[in-house]
Structure 1
Amino acid sequence: MTGPTVDVHAHVLLPEVEALVAGLPALAEAKALDARRGGPAALAVNGPMIRERIPRLTDVSVRLAAMDAQGVDIQLVSPSPSHYHYWADEETAEKVYRLANEATAAHCAQAPNRLRGLGLVPLQHPEQAVRALAHALDQGLEGVEISSHAPGRELSDPAYAPLWALAETTGALLFLHPFGCTLDERLDQWYLSNVVGQPTENAVALSHLIFSGVLDRHPGLRLIAAHGGGYLPTHIGRSDYAWSARADAGAGCAHLPSSYLKRIWFDSLVHDPHVLRELIRAVGADRVVLGSDFPFDMGTEDPVGALRAARLSDPDFHAVRGGNAAALLRKD
């Protein structure tokens, strides 16, 4: 086996960020909304699950030991999506992104040969998001993690054009990782807010970027979609058909929607070897990268084993295992 094994979907918990926003009335409102959307049973499970994983989320030595056990050489570490805080006003949002970027960079700096980092941007304030990306890059981070939308704004919103432009010109990575789902109480049982909500949000967000023409206007964006891009890659035929059959569906982008999948990278975290093979068929083996959602319970403890279960050819296996991500991270 040659080349490093690279996991692009791993998280860090930043207590400093939560201490910063603690006690703010808007935080209580946001938590109440999340609780209502997720349901009480999910809250009861989430608390102990997070507490058990805090050492892996915060202690670099524990993280590295877990990576060794998984056979992972390099992690691309992004803040827990619970740190997005898209409810925050401009002053609070600036404090959040600065602290998150600096704390993530400090975490990764403890093992610079094995940890690379992503920061945060306040999508609720598009004009601030540009400064936040620049700040993340100044900290030595590879780019930023974003959710599927912000309150009242989809990723197709023209207000984000300066953010996409800066990401394109700098080569910054954008990691699309939803947090929460606006289907609300329809998903408040059986953890459907995550089980169904996350792949739905991925599909909606990617569809906005494709159908609106964002990827036409910014063809150099380096975008990684978590959770295999959700439902979109394996159901892209419906998007193509609509683009061809309806004037409204085809009005915003220049090419078949499926063609844009080959401009995006997708992590391998789909929990089914047959779905992983179909993802690779749809987007190409050169566009899939290893992802584990380390160390959360909806991730995989054995990302390489999950990849091996798909029974790929040797070249495809090694490309997904690390070759594609190493190239994204500009590592030989």
Structure 2
Amino acid sequence: MIVDAHAHLLPKHYPADAPECFPRMEPIADSTDRQLLFGQTKFRATEVFFEAERRVEAMDASGVGAEVLSPMPPLLRYDLPADDGLALARHVNHFTAELTSHDPERFVGLGMVPMQDPDAASAELAAVAEAGLAGVEIASNILGSSIGDEKFLPFFAEAERLGLAIFVHAMPAPTDRLPRSGMGTYVVGIEGTLAAASLILGGTAAACPNLRISFSHAAGGLAMMLPRANYFWGGSWNEEAKNPERAVMPDDGPSPLEYARRFYYDSMVFDHRAIRYLIDLLGADRLLVGSDFPAMPREEPAARTLRSMDLSEKEWEDVSWKNAFRWLGRA
């Protein structure tokens, strides 16, 4: 069995009386596709984004047993007024609950909340749980603020209390340090790193030890930085015994690697060598299958790279489906 823990949806419609700042999904002549128009975003969406039957057909064709469905990231518009952001989140969450109800054995839904207003986002989590959604998707930064900022700690604490899963999707932050052409490639790696590191350094990981959180694309370059962070924490190479005399930042608490091993990471890193490193450093019990489908095409069959690796039976079962159920808090 394969659970695709990183797949996206788009609502087919928006209310006729929705605020002007809401997205639009316009019909395309002589096609079942629809055009998403949302601010500067213009995206042609095929039926598989919003029709449950088409999703099941695509899953069967690729060998996927179940999907974890989250909103397409452009819907995470934290620049909207908080009230409009909440209204949009509720509409998307209602659609997600409706789509996943088509086949609850094969679809698990994640909602969204208006993170531009942390109090409203925290309060809305109860409605997310009541709707039967397994958790929420958030962006890797909130209008340029790290998710590890203390102002978001009550949100993560409430998600932990309610047993909801969090999926952090890398999204560009305002910057002029890279050309816009790099936003979908290098920025994903940078943003994933900053998001996960901020939870460790900002104290959220310590304050919420039972928070179930995953990161898109293996949290970018985090795994390459962790051995250096561990050296500065413990003063040793290769995760040997701690040497406080050499530690630059001595700390009696868990190491950066120990915190990172509480998180989950989707394994969509496009190379078996990168996956092997993630398994060696973080553990096979931390990785999830992810595809970004249908925004990006899946490997055919799904998880082909993972299938080609010399994983033990236990490693394969963990990565292909068991870790997803652990992250989601599902039996």
- TM-score, normalised to structure 2's length? 0.85
Aligned residue type for 2:21: L
| SS at 1:156 equivalent | coil
Counterpart residue number, 1:269: 268
Whether the 8 Å contact between 2:150 and 2:202 is mirrored in structure 1 is: no
User: Which structure features the higher share of strand residues?
Assistant: 2
Whether the 8 Å contact between 2:3 and 2:67 is mirrored in structure 1 is: yes
| Pair 1:109 & 2:101 matched | yes
Shift of 1:168: 1.0
**Distance of 1:139 and 1:252 partners within structure 2:** 42
Whether the 8 Å contact between 1:11 and 1:57 is mirrored in structure 2 is: yes
Structure 1 stretches of at least 4 aligned residues deviating more than 6 Å after TM superposition: 18-22
| SS at 2:265 equivalent | strand
Aligned residue type for 2:205: L
RMSD: 2.9
Shift of 1:103: 1.0
Once the two structures are overlaid, the 10-residue window that deviates more, 16-25 or 168-177, is: 16-25
| Pair 1:221 & 2:220 matched | no
Whether the 8 Å contact between 1:123 and 1:149 is mirrored in structure 2 is: no
| SS at 1:194 equivalent | coil
Alignment counterpart, residue 194 of structure 2, candidates 189, 199, 204: 204
1:1-332 equivalences in 2 (<5 Å):
4-16=1-13, 23-24=20-21, 31-32=39-40, 50-51=43-44, 53-184=45-176, 186-189=178-181, 192-244=182-234, 250=249, 254-297=253-296, 300-332=299-331
- TM-score, normalised to structure 1's length? 0.84
Aligned length: 309
Higher radius of gyration, 1 or 2: 2
| Distance of aligned partners of 1:168 and 1:182 in 2 relative to their CA distance in 1, 3 Å threshold | same
- Larger RCO, structures 1/2 (Cα 8 Å, 6+ apart): 1
**Distance of 1:77 and 1:26 partners within structure 2:** 19
Shift of 1:210: 0.5
Once the two structures are overlaid, the 10-residue window that deviates more, 219-228 or 236-245, is: 236-245
Identity %: 31
User: Which structure features the higher share of helix residues?
Assistant: 1
The gaps in structure 1 that reach 5 residues or longer are: 35-46
**Distance of 2:265 and 2:52 partners within structure 1:** 26
Aligned residue type for 1:194: G
Whether the 8 Å contact between 2:128 and 2:135 is mirrored in structure 1 is: yes
